[in-house]
Amino acid sequence: MNKSLTNVAISLGVILVFFAVVMFVLGSGEAQEGALFNFSVDQATVVLRFAFVIIGLLIAFAVYYATRENTIWEVGTRQVVWMAIGAALYAVFSFLFNGTVFVVPSLSQVALRPAIAIPMFFGYAFGPVVGFFTGAVGNIFGDALTGFGLSPQWSIGNGLIGFFSGLWMLFRDRKQSINTVLWISGILALLTALLYFLNRNQANMLFFDADNNIFGDAPISFLAGIAILIGFALILAVRYFFGNNEAIATAVTWAMLGNILGLLFAAISDIWINGYSLPAAIVGEFLPAAGPNLIFAAILVPLLVVAYSSVQRQSGR
Amino acid sequence: MLVAWRYRKRENSFIQKFDPRAWLTFYACFLVSTLAFWDVRFLLPFWLFTMFVLFTSGVRWKEIRRAMLFIVGFVFFFAILTFLTGRGGSEIYGQEHLIREFKAPFSLLGWTPTLKVTVERAFYAVSQLVRVSTLAIMTILIPYSLNPALYGITFKGLGLPDKFAYAMDLTMRFIPTFGRDFQLTMDAQRARGYELEKISGGLIQQVRKMAPIFVPVTIHAIIGSEDIIDAMDLRAFGVGPRTWLQVLDRDFKDRLLIWFGVAVLVIAILLQFFGYGKFWVPEALIRLAGG
């Protein structure tokens, strides 16, 4: 086994151990139905959740193993610092914008979660390893800061968002990769939106309205149901509006794919963990989470890319 | 510049008498043991021990006032929410004994708000209060008691490789720093007339209006990282096995604490295995409800 492979295997093992400690040690059995981030790890399903943490890590490992010769998997000083910065920023923003410190308004059940732009951007700018650490560890620290419990498979899902956002580095032809990603994301967005139109009465499992005593019971609103199509259209508009700026086009399209695949992984895992049906997982969980995230991918990620590019030009790094 | 958690060396602090690795190991065992129970009679010793740790920690009220008020508010909010809605508890108990039912004198679109006060809901809220406050107080004391200079060596001592131990160390150190940066940036933007609390408009407008906070904090963090990267590179970070400035020593009392934690954990698991510690309601209360 070569050194790089050993390092990645150790790294994933470390993350697995970290999750094991967090889930089995810090999780309690006090789950609040309908909340994306539960008050605790539901101990009744903790083994299944842990199984999905392993599956998520195996997905990341499989991608690594298939492309292990590439330099994007190297972890040096810069990556260590960026991992820490990304995770800390994601934790702080998650804490501040989760509704307990700043009440970010939600429109027609579409809750805004601006912090998601951090793993997307860190994955794009600094590679999949940094993106994965940022999403997964940042989400855990963010929940811990808030006092909310953990849904570890959603933390891995957040990690996968950062991970896939950085995979553009594996492709030589950026333009072709962008087009392929757009096709894949478009098909997935259409399929999931179609599922919404076939199940319009499905409850929005993530909708939390304390004032009106609603916890995942309200039928999903039209806006939340089609948010993924709106997000996709926005990404498409950004991609073609900034057609000459490959950096922005790459960042937004790969962030979209990361968002769709990461959250699909987390939502689908709830079919086994919480016994949801496929429509409940996709329409009730995936759409209300993934749709609004795409709006952040389309607006905040390009702003970060532009600001970072100008910093790079100034510093020469 | 790094901003640290509000740690300081405290005189006669019970927590600080121990090696951080020993305390974190004990803490992990303590939490799992607490989670094994829903019975208030089993949870009370844990809660009392937590109170002992709190009052002997040397942490002053004015230092943790904001954090404690937040936690207490949060715990009460969820306990009351559970009490009012009955959610969460239905997985723990099957049967409910009604004490009293309150019905609103009005209806909203055919729905009449009703509050059912049952013995199980009331006691479940109490159990939840004891359980969660135990976990929250034990957790909140850690950043006030664990020396930030020892984060890295502690994670290393717990078995993480150097690079990941250091990444975890930096993550924990950066969190308060970025919290401060966020506040500074928000103050600066407020001086220019920006108010995060009054974001309005359509969905896309709202997202766009977050940028004046979001982008400067993130980019400032990335620019600041260059200094840290340079400092680490100059010290040949990652070139070979890392040495740590501080050395942690485990003595007899640390080993004792670890074994005590492990013993509590084993007993808790055995008790749970044999069916003890499940949700409990006093018989007298059930009789009171006519059950």
CA dihedral B96, B102, B105, B108 (to 10 degrees): -40
Locate B102 and state its tokens: 């309150």
**pLDDT tens-place string over residues B87-145:** 555 555 667 666 676 666 666 666 666 666 777 777 888 888 888 888 888 888 887 88
SS3 label, residue B52: helix
Average the pLDDT over B150-174 and give the result: 82
What one-letter code names the amino acid at B151?
A: Y
Q: Is B214 on the interface with A (CB under 8 A)?
A: yes
Say how far apart CA A96 and CA A142 lie, in whole Å.
Answer: 9
Burial-class residue A153 by CB neighbours within 10 Å (0-12, 13-18, 19+): buried
Task: Give the pLDDT of residue A20.
Answer: 64
Q: What is the DSSP string of B74-89?
A: HHHHHHHHHHHH-TTG
CB pairs under 8 A between A and B: 173
Distance (Å, rounded) from C-alpha A122 to C-alpha A99?
Answer: 24
Residue B235 makes CB contacts below 8 A (sequence gap 6+) with none
Residue B67 has pLDDT above 90, yes or no: no
What DSSP state is assigned to residue B276?
T
Distance separating the N- and C-terminal Cα atoms of chain B: 63
CB A82 within 8 A of CB A126: yes
Residues B80, B101 contacting (CB under 8 angstroms): no
Evaluate the CA torsion angle A106, B200, A230, A198 in order and state its sign: positive
ipTM of the complex: 0.79
Is residue B88 left, alpha or beta, with left meaning phi > 0 and alpha meaning psi from -120 to 50?
left
Residue of B nearest to A23 (CA): B32
Give the pLDDT of residue A306. Answer: 93
B32, B161, B166 member nearest A10 (Cβ):
B161
CB of B87 less than 8 A from some CB of A: yes
B98-103 and A214-215 beta bridge pairing: unpaired
pLDDT digits (tens, 9 = 90+) for B14-54: 988 998 888 888 988 898 888 788 888 999 999 999 999 99
Which single residue is written with the structure tokens 């998650």?
Answer: A94
What integer pLDDT is reported at residue B109 of this predicted model? 60
Contact A179, A250 (CB under 8 A): no
Rounded Cα gap, residues A154 and A139, in angstroms: 9
Query: Residue B265: its chain A contacts at CB < 8 A?
Result: none
**Structure tokens that stand for B59 in this block:** 């942490």
CA dist., res. A162 & res. A116, Å (int):
9
**Which of A32, A83, A91 lies nearest to residue B87, judging by beta carbons?**
A32
Neighbouring C-beta atoms of residue B249, cutoff 10 Å? 6
Instruction: Give chain A as a DSSP string.
Output: --HHHHHHHHHHHHHHHHHHIIIIII--S-PPTT-SS-SS--GGGHHHHHHHHHHHHHHHHHHHHHTTTSGGG---HHHHHHHHHHHHHHHHHHHHTSSSSS----BTTB---GGGHHHHHHHHHH-HHHHHHHHHHHHHHHHHHHT----HHHHHHHHHHHHHHTGGGG-S-HHHHHHHHHHHHHHHHHHHHHHHHH-TT-B-TT-EETTTTEES-SBPPHHHHHHHHHHHHHHHHHHHHTTT-HHHHHHHHHHHHHHHHHHHHHHHHHHHHS---HHIIIIIIIHHHHHHHHHHHHHHHHHHHHHHHHHHHHHT-
Q: For residues B48 and A289, what is the distance between their CA atoms, to the nearest angstrom?
A: 41
* DSSP code per residue over B118-181: EHHHHHHHHHHHHHHHHHHHHHHHHHHHS-GGGHHHHHHHTT--HHHHHHHHHHHHHHHHHHHH
Its sign, for the CA torsion A284, A287, A288, A293, is positive
Q: What is the pLDDT of residue B12?
A: 83
| CA B32 remoteness from chain centre | 14
Contact B85 A213 (CB under 8 A): yes
CA nearest neighbour of B35 among B140, B154, B119, B139: B139
Instruction: Report pLDDT for B87.
Output: 55
- The answer to whether B219 contacts chain A (CB < 8 Å) is yes
Nearest Cα of chain A lies from the Cα of B283 at a distance, in angstroms, of 24
First to last CA, chain A: 33
Cβ neighbors of B275 (< 8 A, separation 6 or more) are: none
Q: Is B202 helix (H, G, I), strand (E, B) or coil?
A: coil
Domains of chain A, residue spans: 3-315
Highest mean pLDDT among A97-111, B233-247, B253-267, B277-291: B253-267
Helical (H) or strand (E) element with B99:
strand B98-103
pLDDT one digit per residue (tens) for chain A, 317 residues: 565 566 666 666 666 666 666 655 555 444 444 333 333 455 555 666 767 777 877 888 888 888 877 888 888 899 999 999 999 999 999 888 865 555 555 554 556 688 999 999 999 999 999 999 999 989 888 877 765 555 678 888 999 999 999 999 988 888 888 999 999 999 999 999 998 888 887 766 665 555 555 555 567 778 888 889 999 999 999 988 887 888 999 999 999 999 999 999 988 887 777 677 888 888 888 888 888 889 888 989 999 999 999 988 887 76
Across the interface, do A110 and B199 touch by the CB < 8 Å criterion? no
What pLDDT is recorded for position A38? 37
Q: What pLDDT score was predicted for residue A206?
A: 63
- A311:B161 CB<8 A: no
pLDDT of residue B20: 86
Asked whether B147 and B10 are in contact (CB, 8 A), the reply is no
pLDDT, tens only, B206-217:
777 888 888 999
A80, B175: Cβ pair inside 8 Å? no
Of the candidates B166, B178, B226, the beta carbon closest to that of A315 is on B226
